[in-house]
Amino acid sequence: MSVLLQRCQGIWPLECSSFGKNRDRPRFNRHDAEAKVFSRNRGLSLMIVLLTVPLNAGIRIFMRKNLGGWQRLWVVTAIVYLIGVGWVTWSSWPASASITHKQAYYSQLTPEAQTRILNAKVREEDEDAFIHDAQSVKNAELVEMPNGHVLVFRKSLPRGEAEAFAREYWTVVEHAAYKRRLVNVARAFAWWFIPLALIYVGGLAVRWVFRGFKES
């Protein structure tokens, strides 16, 4: 019997099966296929909005009659590059299920949830072993989340309460995914805007230099 399993005995009124025996664990199914499609469509809507604003601005600039040939080429390049950056950003759009668990997520839960989720109080380096050992405890209920992380509850906890605490944990994961998406969008905008701005400023500088040579 491992040290962590002995700790489990202090948490649960213990009746252990043979150590290491795997039990089927329920999965948290709040995010089914329809919910994933909704989340993906919401991300697509955000990307469309982000693409539409600079595209409209580019088209308006392009329609001006006083633009020179090089400026028109710059506008076309900016639009094509924007579409490419948008596609790359969309193809790498982080889904909530792809967010790896972090121990810090537990600290964002309510105190009651931190108490009911038994592995919330376990040190990060011990959590994997704790979950493994909990599979051998009859009075433990293991719930696998869509991101692969496993939450451990007492089996005596009403199912509705366990689902509520699992939902609370998943809300924290979704918030982490949302922040990562914002970071990706900001990074994509920087990758799009900075090179184009440097090219445009460089072009203005070259034109200014050549104009000086012509005047002299």
69-120, pLDDT tens digit by residue? 788 888 888 888 988 998 898 888 888 899 999 999 999 999 999 999 998 8
49: pLDDT strictly greater than 90: no
Cα-based distances in Å from 20 to 23, 64, 115, 149:
9, 73, 25, 19
The answer to the question of residue 23 being in a domain is no
Q: How many domains does the chain have?
A: 1
Segment 160-182 shows an average pLDDT of 92
The whole-chain average pLDDT of the chain stands at 76
Residue 20 lies inside a defined structural domain of this protein: no
Residues 11-24: what's their mean pLDDT?
39
Q: Is residue 149 part of a domain?
A: yes
Quickly state the pLDDT bin for 21 (edges 50, 70, 90).
very low
Burial of residue 170 (number of CB atoms within 10 Å: 0-12, 13-18, 19+) = buried
Question: Which residues 6+ apart lie within 8 Å of 181 measured at CB?
Answer: 43, 46, 93, 94
pLDDT surpasses 50 at 17: no
Q: What is the largest CA-CA distance in the chain?
A: 95
**Residue span of the structural domain in which 197 resides:** 3-14+31-215
Query: Would 24 be classed as within a structural domain?
Result: no
